[in-house]
Every structure is written in C-alpha cells, then in structure tokens.
Structure 1
Amino acid sequence: MKKFRSIFEFYINSSIHVALAVVSLCGMTFLNFDISVEEDLLFFVFFGTITGYNFVKYAPVARLHHRSLEKRLKLIQVFSLFSFLLLIWFSFKIAFEVLLWTGFFGLFTVLYALPVLKRRNLRSVSGLKVFIISFVWAGVTVILPVVSTDFALEFSVWVEFFQRFLLVLVLILPFEIRDLKYDLEQLGTIPQQVGVTRTKILGTVLLVSILILELLKPEFSGNSFAALSITALISAIFVWQARERQSKYYASFWVESIPILWLLILFLIKAF
C-alpha cells in the first residue's frame, strides 16, 4: 500500500496527471471537428505540459535548495529532464506553424513563472493568474490541434477556444477555493475578491454559458452536446463541493480528471 501511495504521489507531483488532462482536451478538439488525430502532436503536448508545469512548480525550489534536494524532488527533476528531451524530439516531427503557436503560448508560461517584468511575474499581478492559465490551456488544446491538421481557424474554432477558456477557468476555481487561506492577498484571486459562494455561482454561470455557446456552432452535434452537458454537470458538482479544507487530492486528482472523463464520456456516447 505504501509503495502504491508513493507511485500515485509521483504520478500527481510529476505532472503526469495534468498532462493527460491536457492531452484529453486536445483529443476533444480532434473529435469535435472530426479531424484526423496527430499522434506526434499529442506526445509533444504531453511532454511539453510536464516540462512546463514542473518548471513553474519546482524551479524556485531547486534554486533555493539545490544541494539538499530530497530524493523525490530529484527524481522529478530527472523525469522532467527526460520529458524535455522527448519534447525536443517530437518538436522535429510537427509542423513549423505549430511550433510558432507553441512559442507564443509558451511565452506566457515563461512570463507567468519568471520575474521578467520589473522583477515581477504575471502570476503576481492581481487577478491575472486564472486568466493566463485558461488562455494557455485553451490555446494549446484548441489552436494547436487545429493548426496541426491545416484546418481553418474559422468561427467555430474560436467558439471552441472561448468555451475551453471558460471550462478551464471553472476547473481552476476549486484550486483557488482550496488555496484561499494560503494565497497572498495581493494575488487577487476570484474567491478573495467575491467570496466562496459567489465564486461557485460564477462557476455555474460560466458552465451554462459554455452550453449556450455550443448551440452557436454551425456543425452542431447532439453527441458532443450530450457529452458536454454531462461534463458541465459533473464540473458544477465539484465546484459546489469545493471547500477551503478539502481532501488532499480533491482538486489535483479528481477535478483534473474531468477533461479525461469528458473524453471517455464522448467515446461511450458515440459507441452506443
């Protein structure tokens, strides 16, 4: 049991789980637009997510405690290095235009993590954190899959982009509620500004907005709408059940599993 727990903690802490969530959202884009799946892009996104997330999470820690890193953190560093090398490998297998868009969204990741703007990073700018994360996730999981297949950036793509932006924003809310007692006041997170209850109401309104936006797509699909509706309902439940004192993996495992679940739901609906 102890060994399983260690493996599970590594799975979460090394960002494998969040990487699978991002890849699942890419898969949703391929399915929603009925375009062929680019496997090289999925691997590129998977290893890029691990590299980016671990850079943001662990670079400051490694810089402060380089000589006394605990064993688990060193293992994550090695894993991140291999992920980075595989990211480089797959970057040679995808279209140049995809790399340009990746560089654009990657720039926001760097600005989010490093204090390059007057010794401040974007994360420390009041109220900006949640929008940066949502923007990057939406870009990576909608724009990159579309561009990789030469599919036109038409109206329905931008609707999908905005939906994805809103969904990721909603999925961040349980994290912000959890971190309410730890976040510095100047971060200006949504729960800090409007309170926990209004944050949950906001999340519900955004989920309803996502469903309404789905109706605007010229290529409306009943299967996609059904899968999205179920996912929105599950997301709403998790938002309303979020607490400042929540279980250790409520947000980092269960909430981040929702994109994976969304993909599985769509597969099941299409199968039956």
Structure 2
Amino acid sequence: MNLLKNLLDLYINSSIHVALAVVSLSLVSFFKFQISPDYDLLLFIFFGSITGYNFVKYAGIAKLHHLSLTRNLRFIQVFSLVCFLGAGYFVLQQSWQILILSGVLGIFTLLYAVPFWKGKANLRSLNGTKVFVIAVVWAGTSVLLPLHKLYNLENRDVLIEFFQRFLLVIVLMLPFEIRDLKFDTLQLGTIPQRVGFGKTKILGYVLLLLVILAEVFKERFLLTNFISLVLVSLVSGTFLYKTRIDQQPYFASFWVEAIPVMWLGITVVVINLF
C-alpha cells in the first residue's frame, strides 16, 4: 500500500499528472474543431509542461538544498532534465508561429517563479494575479497552439474558445485556492481570501454558466461540442460543490486535476455516439 502511495505521490509531484491534463485540453481543442491531432505538438506540450511546472516548483528548493535532496527530488531533477531535452527535440519540429506563442507563454511561466520586481516579487506573489496567470498559460497552450495552423487567431470561434478555457481553468483552480486558505499569506490576495469560501463557490458556478452560454455564440455551433461542454461543466461544478477547506489528500491534486482528462474521455464518447 505504501509503495502504491509513493508511486502516486511521485506521479503527481513530478508533474506527469498536470502535463497529461494540459495535453488532454489540447486534444479537446483538436477534436472540437475537427482537426487531426499534431502529435509532435502534443509531445512538445507534454515535455514542456513537465519542465515548466517542475522549474516553478523545485528550482528554489534544488538551489538551496542540493546537498541534501530526497531520493524522490533527485529523481524529479533527472526526470525534468530528460523532459527538457525532449521538449528541446520537439521544439525543432514546430513552426515559427508555435515558437513565438510558446516563447510568450514561457515568459509568463518564468516570471511566475523568478523575481523581477523591486522587493524580489514575481507574478505569483503579486496580489490577486496567481490564478489569472495560470489560466492564461493553460488557455494559450491548449487553445492557441493547437489551432494556430488552420484558424486565424483572431477568428471569433477561437477567441471564444480561449475565453471559455480561461474561465474553466479558473474554476478548476478554485478548489486549490480554497485548500490553500490555511497556508497562503494574505498578500497573495487569492479569490477565497477576497470574497470568502461561500462566494468563491458561487463565482465558480457563474463562470461555468458563462462557459456554457459562450458556446452558443460560436459561428460554427456543434451539438456534440455543446453536450460535452455541459457534461464537463457539471463534473466541474460537482467537484467545486464538494470542495472543503480541509480536503482529502488527493481531492484537488489528483481528482480535480484529472477533470481535463475526463473531458477528453467525454468528448471522444459523445463524438462516437453522435
């Protein structure tokens, strides 16, 4: 049992789980817009997500405690290096448009972790910005990168999809923000700190409603896309409803983070049924 728990912890802490979530959202974009998946791009997103997330989470720790790293952290360091090399290989397979977009998103990720302001502030520590920076990076990665080839990024449907993904990621972040209420400093200005536990949930339900309504305004409305979006919104709303400040260990880090993978499964099933 301890072995399974340790493996699950390593799977989560090495950012494989979150990378699969980002890849799943990217695949959802391919399927929603009826585009054949670009597997070189998906592998670039997978390796790049692991590299970026592990840099944000562990760069400071590795620098300060490099002589006394735990076995798991040593493994994560080596694994991250392998993923960085993998991302480097697949970046060579990308168009210049992907490179520019990825560069902009990479700068956001870098500034999220690295101090750039007076007083050694980074984007994560700036009051009220944390969840929005993450939402921009996830929406940009999972919408703009997959759709850049066949759709002008100023296309109304692409912009609506980006807006929907941005709002959905914010909703998926709320259980994490509620969980961290006990640990976050007040200067972070997270949504639950600003509006409280109950109103945070209400805000999440409103955002999910906006996500669903926005689908109707697309020029190319598809029933299959609408059904899968409603279903994943119901799943997201259910998890938000069940969110507590004192959560089970894997509630947010595994189950909430798995919602994009669930959405991919729902999308595939709905497409095949209709």
Aligned amino acid, residue 65 of structure 1: H
Match of 2:12 in 1: 12
Aligned amino acid, residue 241 of structure 1: K
Identity %: 52
Alignment of 1:142-153 (within 5 A): 142-147=143-148, 149-153=149-153
Match of 1:83 in 2: 83
How far is the alpha carbon of 1:167 from its aligned partner? 0.2
Match of 2:108 in 1: 108
Aligned amino acid, residue 117 of structure 2: L
Deviations 1:148-189 (A, max 9, x none): x34222110000000000000000000000000100000000
Q: How many angstroms apart in 1 are the aligned matches of 2:19 and 2:224? A: 25
Equivalent pairs counted in the alignment come to 271
Q: How many angstroms apart in 1 are the aligned matches of 2:73 and 2:50? A: 14
Q: How many angstroms apart in 2 are the aligned matches of 1:150 and 1:202? A: 34
Aligned amino acid, residue 50 of structure 1: I
Any stretches of 5+ residues in structure 1 without a counterpart? none
The answer as to whether partners of 2:171 and 2:207 remain within 8 angstroms in 1 is yes
Q: How many angstroms apart in 1 are the aligned matches of 2:61 and 2:197? A: 30
Q: How many angstroms apart in 1 are the aligned matches of 2:152 and 2:145? A: 12
Q: How many angstroms apart in 2 are the aligned matches of 1:236 and 1:95? A: 37
Any stretches of 5+ residues in structure 2 without a counterpart? none
Match of 2:253 in 1: 252
**Residues 1:189 and 2:190 are matched in the alignment:** yes
Match of 2:99 in 1: 99
Provide the TM-score with structure 2 as the length reference. 0.97
**Residues 1:141 and 2:142 are matched in the alignment:** yes
How far is the alpha carbon of 1:30 from its aligned partner? 0.6
Deviations 1:51-99 (A, max 9, x none): 0000000111111111101111000010000000000000011111101
Match of 2:58 in 1: 58
The answer as to whether partners of 2:20 and 2:261 remain within 8 angstroms in 1 is yes
Match of 1:177 in 2: 178
How far is the alpha carbon of 1:122 from its aligned partner? 0.7
Q: How many angstroms apart in 2 are the aligned matches of 1:136 and 1:37? A: 20
How far is the alpha carbon of 1:240 from its aligned partner? 1.3
Q: How many angstroms apart in 2 are the aligned matches of 1:12 and 1:94? A: 28
Bigger shift: 108-117 or 161-170? Answer: 108-117
Match of 1:68 in 2: 68
Please give the root-mean-square deviation of Cα atoms over the aligned residues, in Å.
Answer: 0.8
Q: Give the secondary structure class of the aligned counterpart of 1:67.
A: coil
**Residues 1:216 and 2:233 are matched in the alignment:** no
The answer as to whether partners of 2:151 and 2:158 remain within 8 angstroms in 1 is no
Provide the TM-score with structure 1 as the length reference. 0.98
Q: Give the secondary structure class of the aligned counterpart of 1:123.
A: coil
Q: How many angstroms apart in 2 are the aligned matches of 1:117 and 1:105? A: 19
Q: How many angstroms apart in 2 are the aligned matches of 1:36 and 1:262? A: 18
Match of 1:131 in 2: 132
How far is the alpha carbon of 1:139 from its aligned partner? 0.4
Q: How many angstroms apart in 2 are the aligned matches of 1:254 and 1:194? A: 25
Match of 1:42 in 2: 42
